């Protein structure tokens, strides 16, 4: 199980947390990986940056933008899923 936490704190919310979560949910479904991913939201993860902060396992990515979620998923999530 891969834990993905998307920050919904005020800074990240303004940069598109909701859109990031929605696209991640779509990508997880497209890869039929619902049973492999635990996707949730969190208040400020303490890494406010240029984009939305997303934690995948212990790795923190502070600059995920809504139009960059597909690349992020392919590079940072998919390899952990083995799909
Ligand atoms: S509000 Fe998202 S890391 Fe601070």
Question: Which tens digits make up the pLDDT trace of 27-51?
Answer: 999 999 999 999 999 999 999 988 9
Confidence of residue 82 (pLDDT cuts 50, 70, 90): confident
Pocket test of ligand 1: the residue of 12, 17, 42, 54 to mutate, having most ligand atoms within 8 Å of its CB, is 12
Domain boundaries, the chain: 2-81
Question: How much is the average pLDDT of 55-82?
Answer: 96
For domain 2-81, the CATH class is alpha beta
Report in angstroms the alpha-carbon separations of 70 from 14, 21, 30, 43, 44: 20, 12, 12, 23, 23
Q: Which residues line ligand 1 (CB under 6 A)?
A: 7, 9-12, 44-48, 53
Calculate the average pLDDT of the chain.
96
Phi, psi of 57, rounded to the nearest 5 degrees: 60, -125
Model pLDDT, residue 83: 76
């Amino acid at each position: 199980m891969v834990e993905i936490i998307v920050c919904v704190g005020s800074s990240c919310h303004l940069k598109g947390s909701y859109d990031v979560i929605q696209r991640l949910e779509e990508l997880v479904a497209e890869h039929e990986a619902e049973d492999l991913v635990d996707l949730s939201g969190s208040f400020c993860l303490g890494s406010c940056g240029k984009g939305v902060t997303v934690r995948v396992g212990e790795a923190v990515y502070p600059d995920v933008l809504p139009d960059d979620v597909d690349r992020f998923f392919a590079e940072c999530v998919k390899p952990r899923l083995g799909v």
